[in-house]
Structure 1
Amino acid sequence: MFDFLQLVANENLKIYRRIRTWIMFGILVILVLAISLIARYMPGGGDGSGWSMMMTETFLLFIMVTIFTVVVSAETVAGEFTSGTIKLLLIRPWSRSKILLSKYISVMLFAFALAATLFVLGFGVNALLFGMGGAREEILAALGTNRDISPFSYMLAYYGFEFISLIMIVTVSFMISTVFRSGGLAIGLSLFFLMGGSVVTMLLMQLDYAWVDYLLLIHLDLTNYLIEPGFELRDGVTLGFSLGVLAAYYVLIIAVTWLVFNKRDVAT
């Protein structure tokens, strides 16, 4: 167990010793500060709610969290093949499964670190500049929900659902990087899921076919279920159904990733 933790620590070191990693964190911090300060001190500004500003920044910047994580994920495996260092890893006394799992865990920890930074910074900065007070019903209405929960609980749930979507997209990127050994292809296809997915989803939702309910794309945005209690994405498509579909795809993607990595000859 200790050896595996060392392996995970080594993979994290590879991520955080790169200057681009800290540039990613820096960009996130600068954008949160810039958006909040501009909204606070622009003419006519300063009267908004801290919760509304936090939601606006989350909506705009969580996409960047996903993109940054995809970039790191795409090169985690493909980069080892490109540089030839994968052979050095495989001659160590670790199984291929442990090597791949350590890389996957390190990517997920990086994703969590970025998301946590956005949440803490967004809450802290907007609490200082705008305050988090106000009538609960008005705040929830501004956030776009009529659920009977606190604004803080709503934001936690929103981040949780966004993080599930991030996990799915990054796992797809990780699979493509492993199967095709191409960081560029992994980034490109993952960005299609992220950017083009909403457009494709809107088109698919218009189709009155049962098989549409089982497509991955229409279940990636779970935040829709926060609009109101009992919300259905389509007839019979509830939160539980969406989570079940995502879980099935997740298991399939992980299985393909592990199978290919364990069976393929690194020399080819």
Structure 2
Amino acid sequence: MYNFLQLVRNENMKIYSRVQTWIMIGLIVLFQLGLSLLFLFASEDVKIDSWSAMYDETYIIFFFVALFTVVVASNSVANEFSSGTIKLLLIRPWSRSKILLSKYISILLFGLLLGVIMFVLTWGVNLLLFQLDNSQSIVENKFGSTKDITPLQYMLLYYANKFIELVMLITISFMISAVFRSSMLAIIISLLILTSGVLISRALFAFGFEWVDYVLFLHMNFIRYLDENPLKEEFTLAYSVAVYGVYYVIFMATTWFVFNKRDVSN
């Protein structure tokens, strides 16, 4: 167990030793502060409360959190092959499965770190700049939920849902990176999924194709069930979780199988 934790530690050191990693973290901070200041100036004409600002900023900043995490995930395995360092990893007394898992965990931890930074900043900064309104009307009017919960509880669930989406994006990028050994391909496909996956799926869904019910992108937003606003009456939380789980297992199994069977002698 200790050896595996050391392996995860080594992978984390690789991530945080890169200048681009700290640039990404810095950009997240700057984006958040910039949006809060923009909302502050806008609040002179439109009343904005701290929870509304946090919700809107999260919706925007999550795109960059996902983008930066996808870049790290896409480079994780592909760069080992392109630089030839994969051979150095494989001659060490660690199995391929442990090497792959340590990389995957380190990326999840990086995504979680960006998510925590985003949460702390969007909550703390907006709490200082805007009026705090913990009334149920915020949950109903701003968030569109009929649940009897506080704005903080809703935002915690909202962030949890965003992290679940991020985990799937990481998994897809990681799989493409391992299977095709191309970080650029992994980034491009992941960006297409991030920007167009849901839109394309909804367009196909509107045409009434039954097979679209099983498309992953329609089942990554679990917050819909908290808002009691499923895309289709037949869709339930259990159904979406099952679809999500099946895709996750397929992607992880594909990654593991290809990585373990690949010949790196050349």
Residues 139-170 of structure 1 deviation map (CA, whole Å, 9 limit, x = unaligned): 54112222211111101111111111111111
In structure 1, the residue matched to 2:238 is: 240
Alpha-carbon distance in structure 2 between the residues aligned to 1:239 and 1:61: 26
- Does 245-254 or 37-46 show the bigger shift? 37-46
Say if 2:139 and 2:146, in contact at 8 Å, map to a contact too: no
Secondary structure at the aligned position of 2:206 is classed as coil
Q: Which runs of 4+ in 1 moved over 3 A?
A: none
Question: Counterparts of 1:26-105 in structure 2 under 5 Å?
Answer: 26-42=26-42, 44-45=44-45, 47-105=47-105
SS of aligned partner of 1:221:
coil
Q: Percent identity?
A: 50
Partners of 1:117 and 1:182 in 2: how far apart?
A: 29
Distance 1:202 1:69 in 2: 25
Distance across 2 between alignment mates of 1:17 and 1:45: 44
C-alpha contact (below 8 Å) 2:201/2:212 kept by paired residues: no
Match in the other structure for 2:265: 267
Q: 1:208 to 1:262 in 2, by over 3 A?
A: same
CA separation in 2, counterparts of 1:63 and 1:197? 13
Q: Distance in 2 between matches of 1:69 and 1:138?
A: 31
Q: How does 1:184-263 map to 2 (within 5 A)?
A: 184-228=184-228, 231-263=229-261
Post-superposition Cα deviations, 1:72-126, rounded to whole Å, max 9, x if no partner, equal: 0000000000100000000000000000000000000000000111011100000
The whole-number CA distance in structure 2 between the counterparts of 1:22 and 1:208 is 45
Distance (whole Å) between structure 1 residues aligned to residue 198 and residue 247 of structure 2: 18
TM-score (norm 2): 0.96
Name the CA distance, whole Å, in 2 between partners of 1:234 and 1:217: 14
Give the structure 2 partner of residue 25 of structure 1: 25
C-alpha contact 2:179 2:258 (8 A) present in aligned 1: yes
How many angstroms does 1:198 deviate by?
2.3
- Structure 1 residues 39 and 82: CA distance shift in structure 2, 3 A: same
1:143 aligns with 2:135: no
Q: What is the CA distance between 1:35 and its match in structure 2?
A: 0.9
SS at match of 1:236: coil
AA aligned opposite 2:26: G
Shift of the alpha carbon at 1:52?
0.3
Report the secondary structure of 1:94's partner residue: coil
**For structure 1, which segment, 70-79 or 31-40, has the greater mean C-alpha deviation from structure 2 after superposition?**
31-40
Structure 2: how far apart are the matches of 1:139 and 1:157?
12
User: TM-score when scaled to structure 1?
Assistant: 0.95
Which position in structure 2 is the counterpart of 1:124? 124
* AA aligned opposite 2:237: L
| Per-residue deviation, residues 197-233 of structure 1 (Å, max 9, x unmatched) | 12202212213343221111211233322323xx432
**Cα root mean square deviation, aligned:** 1.5
Count of aligned pairs between the two proteins: 266
Q: Secondary structure of the equivalent of 1:205?
A: helix
Q: Structure 2 regions of 5+ residues with no counterpart?
A: none
Q: CA deviation at 1:42?
A: 4.4
Comparing 37-46 and 158-167, the one that deviates more: 37-46
Give the superposition deviation at 1:43: 6.9
Q: Is the 8 A contact 2:172 2:251 kept in 1?
A: yes
**Quick one: distance in 1 between partners of 2:12 and 2:150?**
35
* Greater shift in the superposed pair: 197-206 or 165-174: 197-206
Deviations 1:239-267 (A, max 9, x none): 11111100010001100100000001013
Asked if the contact 1:162–1:222 (Cα under 8 Å) also holds between the matched residues in 2, the reply is no
